[in-house]
Chain A
């Protein structure tokens, strides 16, 4: 069942892209931003995107995924940094710094070919 999740997201994304693209325009690139909390698998989403957009004006459009990292805060030494995974140790020896991540899943921009007459 892995990847089915990304399939529904790809479907939602395709609908949102179509709703925001000028009628008839060919879509070249789609930019999205995904919060760390979502735990999205970029590879799976890319595969689903290709299959969902096949035969549409979005076919072949490049999907740029800006996946946000976790923000990690150490409550012992106050160090702050970012990490691709939530549970990490701090240099100071603290094994349980606090992870925080956002859950946004936003369509940032689309790049299209517009026909000029």
Chain B
């Protein structure tokens, strides 16, 4: 008896990243059950993600019980900086991965004692492009831009802007030294995300951080 092959087209209609989405959904359910508000903090390399978290942890000391996961390509530096302000920090070494995935967040959370924790910050890998496409199970996505990157970065990263629940514009202390078109930046943001709040901050001088802390407290 001879074998014959036949070519068939099989409709599938499933999400490509379904495996990641399933893990993220389980994480989201677990965090909700524990009453933990989880932020996926995304921004370009050097935009000030770690600096913002340092200032935030310092300000929240004694008021909230935060935990932090920090993705970094090759070093432990960010984790060490944050461990000075928070006793629940897990460093996720991503190697050459350019974004965090849900499985890394799930595994890092498993290393933490989450009892009593009410706030989770995840510092994503410094990258404006791909972290936004990978659900981690967060409650909110916070996008961090900084003045030194230039005023065209919102327009150049539509997905990042469209998906953000809050946008922070960092390093405003440097405004006198730069020609950043603040109105043009906001106009680009509004075309992509009409309702997202934009808060101007300086992680190093503390300017504008009250509004960010209020946003956090309101969650």
Binding site for B on A (CB under 8 A): 1, 4-5, 8-9, 12-13, 15-16, 20-22, 26, 28-29, 32, 37-39, 86-87, 96, 98-99, 101, 103-117
Which residues of A are found within 8 Å of B1, using beta-carbon distances?
A: 117
Q: Is B115 an interface residue (CB 8 A)?
A: no
* Contact yes or no, A113 B10, CB < 8 A: no
* Contact yes or no, B19 A109, CB < 8 A: no
* Contact yes or no, A16 B16, CB < 8 A: yes
Q: Is B177 an interface residue (CB 8 A)?
A: no
21 cross-chain CB contacts under 8 A: A12-B19, A22-B10, A37-B158, A37-B163, A38-B159, A86-B191, A87-B188, A101-B158, A101-B162, A103-B159, A107-B13, A107-B15, A109-B11, A110-B9, A110-B10, A111-B8, A112-B7, A112-B10, A114-B7, A115-B4, A117-B1
The 8 Å CB contact of B16, one of A26, A39, A87, A106, is: A106
Which residue of chain A lies nearest to B133 when distances are taken between CB atoms in the complex?
A38
- State how many angstroms separate the Cβ of A67 from the closest Cβ of chain B: 13
Interface residues on chain B, size class: 35 or more
The 8 Å CB contact of B7, one of A15, A28, A96, is: A28
Which residues of A are found within 8 Å of B134, using beta-carbon distances?
A: 8
Which residues of B are found within 8 Å of A32, using beta-carbon distances?
A: 16
- State how many angstroms separate the Cβ of B160 from the closest Cβ of chain A: 9
- State how many angstroms separate the Cβ of A30 from the closest Cβ of chain B: 9
* Contact yes or no, A5 B192, CB < 8 A: no
Which residues of B are found within 8 Å of A110, using beta-carbon distances?
A: 9-10, 12
5 more contacts with CB within 8 A, not counting A107-B13, A114-B8, are A9-B17, A16-B14, A39-B157, A99-B158, A113-B5
CA distance A112 to B10 in the complex (A): 8
Which residues of A are found within 8 Å of B127, using beta-carbon distances?
A: 1
Q: Is B28 an interface residue (CB 8 A)?
A: no
Say whether, besides A37-B158, A38-B159, A113-B5, A8 and B19 are in contact (CB < 8 Å): no
* Contact yes or no, B16 A20, CB < 8 A: no
* Contact yes or no, A86 B192, CB < 8 A: yes
Which residue of chain A lies nearest to B45 when distances are taken between CB atoms in the complex?
A1
* Contact yes or no, A116 B5, CB < 8 A: yes
- State how many angstroms separate the Cβ of A108 from the closest Cβ of chain B: 6
Which residues of B are found within 8 Å of A16, using beta-carbon distances?
A: 12, 14-16, 18-19
Q: Is B129 an interface residue (CB 8 A)?
A: yes
Q: Is B113 an interface residue (CB 8 A)?
A: no
Which residues of B are found within 8 Å of A96, using beta-carbon distances?
A: 187, 191
* Contact yes or no, B15 A8, CB < 8 A: no
